[in-house]
Amino acid sequence: MSAIKYELIKEDKRSGARVGKIITPHGEIPTPIFMPVGTRATVKAMLPESLKEINAKIILGNTYHLYLRPGDDIIKKAGGLHKFMNWDRPILTDSGGFQVFSLSKTNDITEEGVTFRSHIDGSRHFISPEKSMEIQNNLGSDIMMAFDECVPYGADKKYTKDSLEMTTRWAKRCKEAHKNTEHQGLFGIVQGGMFKDLRKQSAEQLIDLDFPGYALGGLSVGEPMDMMFDLLDYTTPLLPKDKPRYLMGVGSPDALLEGVKSGIDMFDCVLQTRMARNGTALTSAGKVTLKNAKYKEDFTPLDDKCDCYVCRNYTKAYLRHLVICKEILSSMLVSYHNLYFTLKLMENMRNAIMEDRFLEFKHEFEKEYGII
């Protein structure tokens, strides 16, 4: 019995959009869903209670960071990541691979695994598919990601093909090393770079390994947006309809709308919280850069169409003041709103799909947001 089950509830007749739910040991997740990113066992500047207030259903944990600090062994002794961080809803952990490539200085990739130096103290470490499974098993996440190589944008076809074939071999090793299958589900990650035939090959090889869910990797890595959307439109329908699809590292409101239209169920992105700490808010009328002097005496809410705690109690002038003074509260309030805004967008998309008006909703949102 797999720990993760997906139920397809409704398919849009005019696009790939769909509503479903993912059933996990720590609760159910309505899809399409956005997953706030919790890097070091915290969604930055957010209390778990605030995350529940804004209806966050699942958050991400970061295997690379938690392995280095405090150590997955300590988190295991604490009773797992849920207990350690006081979060009793579902958690998805990444494999650690992506961070090794994007954060650590030197990394040497071999069939066996990746040798790298910690970005914290320069100490040498080695992560393999088996080691990634051991760490994620210690963290106790509901959904684990296979150890993959995210092919850099611009890699040539031969490198991309060799890499996807190694990612498939690594996925097989992950599946074989994965214990605790009753309580933790393991998702495979489709690679193949910017090449449709390689995307097909990667998808087919991973489907043969029969995972309870599939991620699309190697996207949102610097390629033009329309190239990502084209690859999305091509690759997503290749994946099984009865399993969740997770588009990694995406994204901004416009990308979320396109991803849902292609049939993606799960998203994660650091933008919402990273922009917040930099004083930029997402609103229905587009981005608001609070440092702008025009908000100095603007006593209106961040977003007059948002009913969140922040928009009901604070003005742009006040939030700008906090951002200018680098007050801690600015990160808390703008993160709260940005996550609420994004989770509310997903809920509005789910309702629109249920009422057969998804494309109309998408068009309206894009017009108001200033995308079209």
Q: Which is nearer to ligand 0WW, 12 or 148 (CB)?
A: 148
Write out the DSSP string of 283-338: ETTEEEETTSGGGTT--S-S-TT--SHHHHH--HHHHHHHHHTT-HHHHHHHHHHH
270 contact, one of ligand 0WW, Zn ion, none, CB 5-8 Å limit per kind: ligand 0WW
Q: Which stretch binds ligand 0WW (CB under 6 A): 215-223, 285-293, 310-318, 325-333?
A: 215-223
Paired with 33 in beta bridges are: 266
Alpha carbon distance 53, 61 (integer Å): 20
Pairing of strands 37-38, 59-61: parallel
* Residue 62 binds to ligand 0WW (criterion: CB under 6 A): yes
**In this chain, which of 206, 276, 306, 322 binds Zn ion, going by CB under 5 A?**
306
* Residue 276 binds to Zn ion (criterion: CB under 5 A): no
Least Å distance between CB 183 and ligand 0WW? 20
Q: Which is nearer to ligand 0WW, 266 or 302 (CB)?
A: 266
306 contact, one of Zn ion, ligand 0WW, none, CB 5-8 Å limit per kind: Zn ion
Tell me the two tokens of residue 296.
């100095």
Helices (H), the chain: 48-53, 63-68, 72-77, 81-84, 97-103, 129-139, 157-177, 196-208, 225-235, 253-262, 271-277, 309-313, 316-324, 328-354, 358-369
The answer to whether residue 298 is catalytic is no
* Residue 91 binds to ligand 0WW (criterion: CB under 6 A): no
* Residue 220 binds to ligand 0WW (criterion: CB under 6 A): yes
Q: Which stretch binds ligand 0WW (CB under 6 A): 49-57, 127-135, 172-180, 216-224?
A: 216-224
Helix (H) or strand (E) run with residue 279 in it: none
The answer to whether residue 94 is catalytic is yes
Helix (H) or strand (E) run with residue 215 in it: strand 214-216
Residues 221-260: x/- map of binding to ligand 0WW (CB under 6 A)?
Answer: x--------------------------xx-----------
Q: Which is nearer to ligand 0WW, 16 or 249 (CB)?
A: 249
Q: Which residues lie below 8 Å from residue 253, measured CB to CB, with a gap of 6+?
A: 282, 342, 345, 365, 369, 371
**In this chain, which of 150, 311, 333, 346 binds Zn ion, going by CB under 5 A?**
311
Angle, CA 21 vertex, CA 17 and CA 25 arms, to 5°:
150
Active-site residue identified among 12, 142, 265, 268: 268
State the residues that interact with Zn ion by CB under 5 A. 306, 308, 310-311, 337
